[in-house]
Amino acid sequence: MKKIYSLFLITLAFNSCGEKKSASIEELVSNGNLKELISKKKEISANIEAKSIDLKKIDNAIAKKDTLQKLPLITTIITKEEVFKHYLEIQGSVKTKQNILIYPEIPGILKTVFVKKGQRVSKGELLATIDDGGLSNQLAQLEVTTQLNKTTYERQKRLWKQKIGSEIQYLQTKANYEFQKNALEQLKSQLSKASIRAPFSGVIDDVMKEAGTVIAPGQGSEVFRIINLDNMYIEAEVPERYLTTITKGKEVAIEFPVLGKKIKSTVRQVGNFIKLNNRSFKIEVPVANKSGNIKPNLTAKLQINDYTDTRAILIPQSIISENSKGEEFIYIITNKNSNKEAIAQKLIIKTGKTQGDLIEVLENLSVDSEIIKEGARTVNNGQKVKVINK
């Protein structure tokens, strides 16, 4: 400010001289002789010297009256203990263990299809039937002969208890009945395969064959895809270094970017096998899906709480600097007076985990310390500063 005043007054002096004598100087430069030019130069130089002396007097007076010191302006924050939770961020994919293709168990013609795509069905509900090729007729005949053998066996059994007839007759009727009964059960089991039923409650995601199609067991003969969207989970791979910190029951924050949806859950299962190709293990996180919007193979972002400190000291990462030795340091203030003037003091610290813009301080920084926030990178150790917290 002092230099600006000086320059302003000198400029004013020059301008005043120029405005007052501009005409005579022009005439002198054009028509004056050497003696006159030298005399005029001396006159102007003396005037400038006198003005310079006056400027110095004014500068000294300003210096005595201006008691405001130009201190660096800073803001500060007070350290405190707080709960710090660190989260491992990974990506996973939505899965369901109830997402299957339904195949026929016997060859034949697809006789009737009872459901449509998108239809909700219950466990055991009849979805379709296959032409049984006369098995139902065979079953009816076998039921009659089985009933006859049962009657014969029961009669022979009563007679044998009365010691009527021979033991061999009793044993033969018993064997015939049991053989027919087993044959009947096998035929019933085979005939039941002509009815395709829902293995669990869910939604028919796709109907792949139409009535009248010839089908047979094996690849390429899928009839339905059925999915249960109620019991979903997220499968993710976690680096092996987190094996001791990512455990069953850990808190998980889930985000589905496509849906714009966030939910909370916990780790349900932790894998016991480390994959050799990427040194990772699998985890499962259950997902509630009451709305049905979450679909299999949907991408999910997981934040898993792998570290918690209930008495942590946290500071912004942006205020930390590093010296030539690789040590991290910050500035705290000491000797703060009533005018909010203080001394900046460098403090070497040791940091831990980060979360967002915050970092955990592990060593050398205590609670209730006042650390420099804004202006932290412009001050020097031992420098006087002024705090301007709002």
For 326-363, the pLDDT digits (tens) are 999 999 999 988 888 999 999 999 999 998 899 999 99
| Tokens representing residue 258 in the block | 């496509």
Q: Which tens digits make up the pLDDT trace of 95-116?
A: 998 889 999 998 999 999 999 9
Stretch among 89-93, 173-177, 317-321 having the lowest mean pLDDT = 173-177
CA distance 360 to 354: 6
- Predicted confidence band of residue 12 (pLDDT cuts 50, 70, 90): very low
73-85+310-387: in CATH 2.40.420.20 = yes
Task: Kindly state the average pLDDT of the residues 288-302.
Answer: 90
* List of residues 6+ apart from 130 with CB closer than 8 A: 104, 106, 108, 109, 110, 111, 193, 194, 195, 196, 215
Share of the chain above pLDDT 70, in %: 91
CA distance 228 to 330: 55
* List of residues 6+ apart from 111 with CB closer than 8 A: 128, 129, 130, 131, 211
For position 64, what pLDDT does the model report?
59
> Which residue has better confidence, 282 or 180?
282
Domain ranges of the chain: 2-65, 73-85+310-387, 132-193
Q: At what angle do helices 2-31 and 34-65 cross, to 10 degrees?
A: 170
- Predicted confidence band of residue 373 (pLDDT cuts 50, 70, 90): very high
For position 66, what pLDDT does the model report?
56
Beta strand 126-130 pairing with 195-197: antiparallel
Please check the confidence at residue 19 and state whether its pLDDT lies above 90: no
Beta strand 384-387 pairing with 73-74: parallel
What kind and span of H or E run contains 370? strand 370-372
Q: pTM value?
A: 0.57
Task: Kindly state the average pLDDT of the residues 261-284.
Answer: 94
For position 223, what pLDDT does the model report?
94
